[in-house]
Every structure is written in C-alpha cells, then in structure tokens.
Structure 1
Amino acid sequence: MDRMHVTEMLSGIQLPGHLHTPESLQYAKEFQFREGDVLIISYPKSGTTWIQEILTLIYSQGDPAIATSVPNWMRAPWLEHTYFKTTVKDEEGPRFITSHLSSDILAPALQNSKAKVIYVVRNSKDVAVSFYYFHKMAKFMPNFESFSEFLEHFLQGKVYYGSWFDHVKGWYSQKANLDMFIISYEDLYKVGHISGL
C-alpha cells in the first residue's frame, strides 16, 4: 500500500504515514525502556543526526568503522517508525533509540525506567527554515507554496510533529523527573567550531 500521502494522528499530533502506522505508534507508546537505554529526543531539524554520530563515536571509542559502515537508522533506530520493532537490539549494553515524539507520550514510561534522555533543542527560527526546505525535498512531507505559508502553519503547530513550542516546553518540564541531558544545536556548533570539527 502506498502510504506516501497518509497522515497518522497520535495525541493530536500529525505524523507522516510513510514512516508511521497505527501499529508502530502503539508499539512506541507501550515500549518498555530499560537501564542502559539512551534515548535521543528532538523536534525535527534540531541536530538529531549530529548527536547520533557523536554517540556512535563515543561508544566506539573514536573508531569510525561503525559510523561509516552501519546506517544511523540502524545504530539509533526511530522508536515510532515502522521498522523499529525489527531493528532494536535486545542484547545487553546500551541501546541508542531516537524519537521526535512529545513528552506527554513518552515521559510516563521513561519516568518508570532508568533510561537516559538526551534532548536536543535548536533555535525555532533555524528549525523553521530547515524544516521548510526539508518539506520541499522529502516527497512524504506536505508541499507548501511559500515559506510564509509554511511559517504560518509552523507557528500554529499545524505541521507534522506538532508545535515546536509545545515540544520544547514539554520536554523541559521533565528535567526534574528524568535522567536528562539537554543540549542545544548552537552549543554543538560552538564546540565543533572551536575544536575545528
């Protein structure tokens, strides 16, 4: 079945059916996190891939072999995507898991686990610009006639993955409840710029 133009809904948030199904979203909601899991959470276009690559290099002690031979969606699979159930590792050791889901969906399960959360946040202006161009490139995303039209939808939270403002506010409100590290795209950029990365 062609799901390129299907929209799924979860807790009032629109998600692209190309990547999500009712079954994959239900599995994500019910997923049991365990000690050692590292969950990378972000709103789209906030530096997610960057953190996936950094964690891969940290846990491989700087050896680039894994980062260059295994796709990031296998190293740190997306919790809510259709392929997650068959990709997530079940062995001992840290499991890297990635998600764009909101705190109201994931925080209850995370509060009852010993999983670690890395939340990546980026300036909303830069997210909006990057997300707009992603919409123009990705065939499974809605097409907007102009940046002005996209921005109006973005500011109202009427885009896939919902409101940037609600996403950031929701995850920030979980700081005291979770083993959570928050880092900004801008800080990653500063560190990379200073170190010559």
Structure 2
Amino acid sequence: MAKRTYCTYKGIPLPTMGYSKESLSYMENEFQLLDDDVVTVSYPKSGTNWMLEILGLIWHDGDPSWVQSVFMANRSPWIETVDGLNVALNYPPPRFLTTHLPFQFFPKSFLHSKCKIIYVMRNPKDVLVSHYHFAKCCETLEEPGTVEEFLEKFLNGKVMYGSWFNHMKGWVKLKERPNFFLITYEELQQDLRGSVKKICHFLGKELASHQLDEVTKYASFQIMKDNKMSNYSLLPSMDHSKGKFMRKGICGDWKNHLTVAQSEHFDHVYQEKMQGVGVTFPWD
C-alpha cells in the first residue's frame, strides 16, 4: 500500500496522510499562540492521550461528560495536521492544543507568548515497544518490521517524528521557564492524584478534594480504555484486528519484548546520546 510510507518535513519523517508541507509551514511561521493556550507536547506514544483526558477532566472540575461526548482530536487538536490546524484556528479560547513536533518546528509565536506547555515523557524503551505495536495496527504508519529492525530505526531516528533523543533535548532546554511543566508517564502511573494536583497548580486551577477524586477516577486507564471518544476505536485508519490503540497502560512492558542483548545495546546508545542533558528521569 503506497500510503504506508513517510514524507519528510525538514528532515523529520511524517505520515503522508493528514499532513501537508503548506500547513506545517503555516503552523510554524504564522500560527499565533495565545497567552491562555495550554499545549500538550510529547514524543509519540509517551502518554499524550492520557494527559489530554486529564486536562479535559480538570477543566470541567472532574465532570466526565465533555471527555465522553467530544472526540479527543476536537477537544485538543494536533496543530501539525491539516485537520487539527483547522480545528485550532476555529477553537474559542482558552484552547487546549497538542503536538508531537520537535521544538525547532513549534510555532515561532511561542517565544512572545505566555502559553503553557506541558511536556510528557516516558521511558524510551516503553515508547519503542508502544510505537512498534501502534505501527502494526495504524494504517498510516510504515510497517515496523521485526522488533530488531524497529529498534535500529528507533535508535537512528528513522521513525515518525524523528529521534526521541533530539526531541527530548530540544524541549527539556525550556525546563527553567515558568510556563513549562515537565511530567513523566511513570509519575502519572505511580501517583495519579498527586500528579493531577501538580498539573492543577501549574494551570492555576485549584480543585476541591472530591473533584480531584473524580478526575483521578475518570482518567484511570480502565475507564479511558472504554471511552469511545478517547480510545480511537472510531478511527478508520486503525485496524483493530491487529491491536488496540490503548493496549496495556503499564510501565516496563519493554522487558517482555527486548532481549538482554537488545536492551544492553539500547542502554549503550542511550548513555552516549544523553551526555550533558543534566536531567535525571525515573527510568535512569
């Protein structure tokens, strides 16, 4: 199938469906970020949709009716896609926006705005495994091949959105900015309620204790997995006979997929590429 190939935008591989160089260029150079925008940024398969569910619930004080009645891509559009950019341009403020883009392609208007960035990260070995399974069932992504083949592609940045390492380094540089909030999938997993409280504080929106309980309840993996507006079961480009978009929602699944040799090879590349980053992550 011809569509299972990538085009490149300034060296970054992207699916040929849903993206155009014109809309990417417009988004980068002309799209205006507003001071009350909240943008969720992540490398693919790092917990993006989980964060979007949490934000939708926080904004509605724990009431799930909005996240269970509006499709996720309309609640928080991906600004680098053609459809997502159109939704964003017609979105009444305050806007929730989403992107997987590396920092160098993010809207230049960011530098003069107070918009809030939430950067979600995850153990890159788990990202690799999640990405591998997603590529098997999403018909707009390149075939992943074997785990061994996909591991090499991943480590060399020959996958959708390019190198995990470059993505992380570009965004983590903003960590001292007051409008930048870094959180990991592992922190959400370990203490969801505590993480929700921190996110509320960053957004300047305080919730009562029972509202925090509701957010935590409806943002649980099991409830989200059953939410048709969030689990991508309605997406025509997903072949659900080959796998589910929301698969396990756990940390450490890489141990079930990578051999000892593959894991050691990954660690070697990781240590080499992470020199000078100056941030310690839960998986280090």
TM-score (norm 2): 0.65
Give the corresponding residue for 1:58. Answer: 58
Give the corresponding residue for 2:251. Answer: none
Give the corresponding residue for 1:7. Answer: 6
Separation in 2, partners of 1:113, 1:85: 18
SS at match of 1:97: strand
* 1:50-79 Cα shifts (integer Å, max 9, x gaps): 010000001111111110000010000000
Give the corresponding residue for 1:130. Answer: 130
Greater RCO between the two (CA within 8 Å, min separation 6)?
Answer: 1
Could you tell me how far 1:41 is from its partner in structure 2? Answer: 0.3
Question: Which region of structure 1 is more displaced relative to structure 2, 186-195 or 78-87?
Answer: 186-195
Instruction: Decide whether the 8 Å contact of 2:74 with 2:87 is kept in 1.
Output: yes
1:1-197 superposed matches below 5 A: 4-30=3-29, 31-88=31-88, 90=90, 93-106=93-106, 108-177=108-177, 179-192=179-192, 197=220
SS at match of 1:15: strand
Could you tell me how far 1:139 is from its partner in structure 2? Answer: 1.0
SS at match of 1:14: strand
Separation in 1, partners of 2:28, 2:128: 27
Question: Which region of structure 1 is more displaced relative to structure 2, 123-132 or 108-117?
Answer: 108-117
Question: Which one has the bigger strand percentage?
Answer: 1
SS at match of 1:49: helix
Separation in 2, partners of 1:8, 1:27: 17
Could you tell me how far 1:177 is from its partner in structure 2? Answer: 4.7
Could you tell me how far 1:9 is from its partner in structure 2? Answer: 1.8
Separation in 2, partners of 1:159, 1:91: 30
Instruction: Decide whether the 8 Å contact of 1:111 with 1:178 is kept in 2.
Output: no
Could you tell me how far 1:11 is from its partner in structure 2? Answer: 2.5
Instruction: Decide whether the 8 Å contact of 2:5 with 2:141 is kept in 1.
Output: no
SS at match of 2:66: helix
CA change 1:166–1:20 in 2 (3 A) is same
Could you tell me how far 1:90 is from its partner in structure 2? Answer: 4.3
Instruction: Decide whether the 8 Å contact of 1:3 with 1:18 is kept in 2.
Output: no
TM-score (norm 1): 0.91
Could you tell me how far 1:134 is from its partner in structure 2? Answer: 0.7
Question: Which region of structure 1 is more displaced relative to structure 2, 98-107 or 131-140?
Answer: 98-107
What is the aligned residue count?
A: 196
Letter in 1 for 2:155: L
CA change 1:152–1:53 in 2 (3 A) is same
CA change 1:153–1:6 in 2 (3 A) is closer
Instruction: Decide whether the 8 Å contact of 1:104 with 1:170 is kept in 2.
Output: yes
Unpaired runs of 5+ in structure 1? none
CA change 1:191–1:177 in 2 (3 A) is closer
Could you tell me how far 1:3 is from its partner in structure 2? Answer: 7.5
CA change 1:72–1:40 in 2 (3 A) is same
Unpaired runs of 5+ in structure 2? 195-215, 221-284
Percent of residue pairs bearing the same amino acid type: 41
Question: Which region of structure 1 is more displaced relative to structure 2, 99-108 or 55-64?
Answer: 99-108
* 1:107-152 Cα shifts (integer Å, max 9, x gaps): 6431211110000000000000000111111111111320000000
Letter in 1 for 2:25: Q
Separation in 1, partners of 2:20, 2:91: 26
CA change 1:193–1:116 in 2 (3 A) is closer
Question: Which region of structure 1 is more displaced relative to structure 2, 21-30 or 123-132?
Answer: 21-30
CA change 1:34–1:116 in 2 (3 A) is same
